[in-house]
Structure 1
Amino acid sequence: MCLDDLQLPDDKAGPLGLYQCHPRLEISQFFSVSSRGELRKENVCAEVFNDRDVQLTECHGHRREQYWVLYKNGTIYHPSSEKCLSNENVSMGHGLKVDRCKDTVYQRWKFDHINNTAVLV
């Protein structure tokens, strides 16, 4: 399963979702962790709302709710909530959550291209 924008229009906020990985890279699944710690796709960034829900909203550069840390084991940690991006109990086509960090496959993500000096801890 892959991170996916769930066909969200570029100018709309909505859930960061989970969907079956496409055989070839599609724009809906092209995410990166920026040097500023933003989990982003173009001009939208993953932001935590209500201490649990992860939404894609316009990147604002204020860090806090849009700041993430990618660990070498694939965990994506959200320092402000002290939780990790998780797909546990999330159905395909639905929004991801942050949850208490656990050593589990539900909280490990794989990026195809990583700059090891940028944000990995």
Structure 2
Amino acid sequence: MFSELLEDECPFLLFKGKGENKKWQRRKKCVHQRITSRVQMLRKANPDMEETAIPVELVTCSGSGLDQHISPAAAKYQVTRIAKANNMSEEKVGAIIEKCTDSRFLGVFGEKTVNVLKVNLMLDGIL
């Protein structure tokens, strides 16, 4: 029953067995539709960024969808929209993003990340 529910939601899992090729084709089509729809949604929400490449993490999603960190590129992509929504200058929003950007672990491991929760709290004047 659980695997049937997953298949209806277009999972990214592959189930071995008869008809595997058709299942993969159906999943591939579903993934393409989801990505296309997310790109359209992001373009609509950020009209000032029409020719700018969308950071891949804004189009894809994590396993849980609850990540509180994004890349600096993903944050910068949204600066204009965030500034307008909060009646702030883009410079002020950029400064908040910089304050909420964490460096690499031990200066070497991983990538810089922006703590979205901190950004939102600072935008609301709570921090």
Using the size of structure 2 for normalisation, the TM-score is 0.25
Q: Which has the larger radius of gyration?
A: 2
Q: Which has the higher helix share?
A: 2
Q: Which structure would you say has the larger RCO, counting Cα contacts within 8 Å and 6 or more residues apart?
A: 1
Using the size of structure 1 for normalisation, the TM-score is 0.25
